[in-house]
Amino acid sequence: MAKSKKSWEERLSGEPDPLMVDFVESLSIDKRLYKYDIVGSIAHAQMLAEQKLITKDEFKAIRNGLLEISERIAEGKFKFDKTYEDIHMAIEAALVARIGEAGKKLHTGRSRNDQVTTDIRLWMRDEIEILQTKIGGLQKAFVKLAGKYAEDVMPGYTHLQRAQPIAIASYLLSFVEQFERDLIRLKNCRELVNVSPLGSGAVAGLTLPIDRKSTAKQLGFSDISYNSVDAVGDRDFCAEFIFDCALIATHLSRLAEDWIIYSSSEFGFVRIDDSFCTSSSMMPQKRNPDVLELIRGKAAGVYGSLMAMLTILKAQPSGYNRDLQEDKVHIFSASDTVSASLDMAKAIVSHTKFNTKKISAGLEDGFLDATALAEYLAKKGVAFREAHGIVGSLVVCCEGQNKKLAELGLDEFKRYWPAIEKDVYQFLGAANAANKYVTEGAAGPKQAKKQIAYWEKQLAQR
């Protein structure tokens, strides 16, 4: 392909400095937008034909040329030349080389400033859908695992100290809730993404009678932007998208942190399947949760991207500035990282087993039923502050005798509070306490079963 001159080379004298060529190019990163660039260009060209700014034949030549280029890129046969700076220029140059004069008309009524943000929005729309599907898959894996442990109880923690008994299923469903919020956030983000900036030109719109609604409709945008100055410089949706990714990464990282702890010998609550463990090059006995550690570690990179994106925006003078080119590396990286971590998390969740024997063997340590006992007293009319104090003293008494609360005799209870009756034992012991929860959304087996049914239905409908 004979190398075509860039039109602005008429304006500038001499050859571009090779150092500068390397520095300004974004082709190595934005070439992954090629499909969106081509789809956007075909819509733009069709609109130009509708508006009689190009002929029907010119449109056909442009469309066919672009489709051929798309195929060549997909087949890996396209030669990317970074002197064309970015994917937009590379494709346009290839089009001109292929179809000649008609190709030079493609950029009528368009700037790379509105073109690039259109491409990103089209890419992001698809990417959001992919992430949503992956989140849904992970949620399903959690619900399935929860279904296996609907009756089993484990310690619930606050401050990583034993607090109150919870159903294992409720613990697992807590992640389904977190990822559900991530889904909603992405859905909301999509609304802001799905707006067409195409036709905003470089910064001021156009003197040519282009039809912005036509391109918006062809590309499936739900509306057009209404201020060209804002439209070319707006990357708020990029920051928002990365934030959504960062929060997904946070939720994945919290899961990873839990299971790194829970899979340790000290806890022994979960067994991560061998296929997701690594060993040590030196210590032959090791089964390490490296995958979970990497999920936790990779969240850091996503936060970095968010910080970078916000920082790119904070000192932008109005309109387009080349700083914005740096957006892509961060949206791609955040999305790729989260996408891979979601896949890994789903695989791990699908293969993890809870060691219910080990969990129940230690379930009566740590007075998980103490709060239930205080609430029992409150129901008997004891002021909660007083009940709290009584149970505190009972715990100290038990510790002295190396006993559990359930092992105290009724006479001992009565010494602390005469109104305590035999029915107190229904609240004692971790499993009993968990089965006594009555509030909506509580973490008992009763509520967990209801929630499993709810989520199974919800997720099946998607």
> Looking at the annotation, which residues are catalytic?
159, 280
Q: How far is the CB of 86 from ligand ARG (least distance, A)?
A: 4
The nearer residue to ligand ARG, 88 or 251, going by C-beta atoms, is 88
3-class SS of residue 353: strand
**CB of 323: closest distance to ligand ARG in angstroms?**
9
Kindly state the smallest distance separating residue 30's Cβ from ligand ARG, in Å: 6
In angstroms, the CA 94 to CA 66 distance is 9
Distance linking the first and last C-alpha atoms of the chain? 48
* 382: helix, strand or coil: coil
Kindly write down the DSSP assignment for every residue of 75-123, as one continuous string: TT-----GGG-SHHHHHHHHHHHHHGGGGGGTTTT--HHHHHHHHHHHH
Q: Which helix (H) or strand (E) holds 133?
A: helix 112-148
Q: Count the site residues for ligand ARG by CB under 6 A.
A: 10
Considering the complex, state which of residue 89 and residue 173 has its C-beta at the smaller distance from ligand ARG: 89
C-beta closer to ligand ARG: residue 92 or 369: 92
Which phi and psi (to 5°) does residue 207 adopt? Answer: -90, -10
Instruction: Give the one residue of 54, 99, 116, 198 binding ligand ARG; rule: CB under 6 A.
Output: 116
The DSSP string of 172-221 is HHHHHHHHHHHHHHHHHHHHHHSEE-TT-TTTT--SS---HHHHHHHTT-
Contact 207, 188 (CB under 8 A): no
Annotate each residue in 281-320 with x if it binds ligand ARG (CB under 6 A) or - if it does not, as one string: ---------------------------------------x
Residue 178 found at the interface with ligand ARG (CB under 6 A): no
Using CB under 6 A as the binding rule, whether residue 41 contacts ligand ARG is answered as no
Whose Cβ is closer to ligand ARG: residue 232's or residue 431's? 232
How far, in Å, CA of 253 to CA of 7, rounded?
A: 49
Among residues 11, 52, 159, 322, the one that binds ligand ARG under rule CB under 6 A: 322
Member of 154, 324, 359, 405 binding ligand ARG (CB under 6 A): 324
Sort strands 223-224 and 195-196 into parallel, antiparallel or unpaired.
parallel
Q: Is 26 in the site for ligand ARG (CB under 6 A)?
A: yes
Considering only residues 253, 263, 325, 333, which one is a binding residue for ligand ARG as defined by CB under 6 A?
Answer: 325
Distance in Å, CB of 246 to ligand ARG, minimum:
22
For the bound state, the minimum distance from the C-beta of residue 43 to ligand ARG, rounded and expressed in Å, comes to 18
If the CB atoms of residues 241 and 269 are measured against ligand ARG, the closer one turns out to be 241
Tell me: does residue 164 bind ligand ARG (CB under 6 A).
no
Least spacing, CB of residue 114 vs ligand ARG, in Å: 9
Other C-beta atoms within 10 Å of 299: how many? 24
In whole angstroms, the minimum distance from the beta carbon of 314 to ligand ARG comes to 17
Q: In this complex, which beta carbon is closest to ligand ARG, that of residue 169 or of residue 193? A: 193
Part of the chain binding ligand ARG (CB under 6 A), chosen from 63-71, 112-120, 297-305, 336-344: 112-120
Whose CA is closest to 126, among 218, 63, 220, 216?
220
Reported as half-sphere exposure (CB side, CA atoms, 13 A), residue 10 has a value of 2
- If one asks whether residue 451 binds ligand ARG (CB under 6 A), the answer comes out as no
Asked if residue 113 binds ligand ARG (CB under 6 A), the reply is: yes
Tally of helices (H runs) and strands (E runs) in the chain: 18, 6
Residue number, 58 or 86, with CB nearest to ligand ARG = 86
Measured distance CA(420)–CA(381) in Å, rounded: 11
CA dihedral 279, 297, 159, 157 (to 10 degrees): -60
Q: Quick one: which of 44, 105, 112, 121 contacts ligand ARG (CB under 6 A)?
A: 112
Establish if 11 lies at the interface with ligand ARG (CB under 6 A).
no
Q: Which is nearer to ligand ARG, 26 or 214 (CB)?
A: 26
CB of 122 or CB of 368, closer to ligand ARG: 122
Nearest approach, Cβ of 232 to ligand ARG (angstroms)?
9
Compute, in degrees rounded to 10, the torsion defined by CA atoms 56, 57, 60, 61. Answer: -140
Residue 170 touches ligand ARG, criterion: CB under 6 A: no
* Residues 85-104, interacting with ligand ARG (CB under 6 A): 86
* 114 binding ligand ARG? (CB under 6 A): no
Work out how close the CB of 72 gets to ligand ARG at its nearest, in angstroms, rounded to a whole number: 21
44 contacts: CB under 8 Å, gap ≥ 6: 106, 109, 110, 198, 215
Going by C-alpha positions, the residue among 368, 364, 349 that lies closest to residue 166 is 368
The b/e string for 439-456 (b: 16+ C-beta within 10 A; e otherwise) is eeebbbbebbbebbeebe
What does 303-345 look like in DSSP terms, one character per residue?
Answer: HHHHHHHHHHHHTPPSS--GGGGGHHHHHHHHHHHHHHHHHHH
Residues that bind ligand ARG (CB under 6 A): 26, 30, 86, 112-113, 116, 320, 322, 324-325
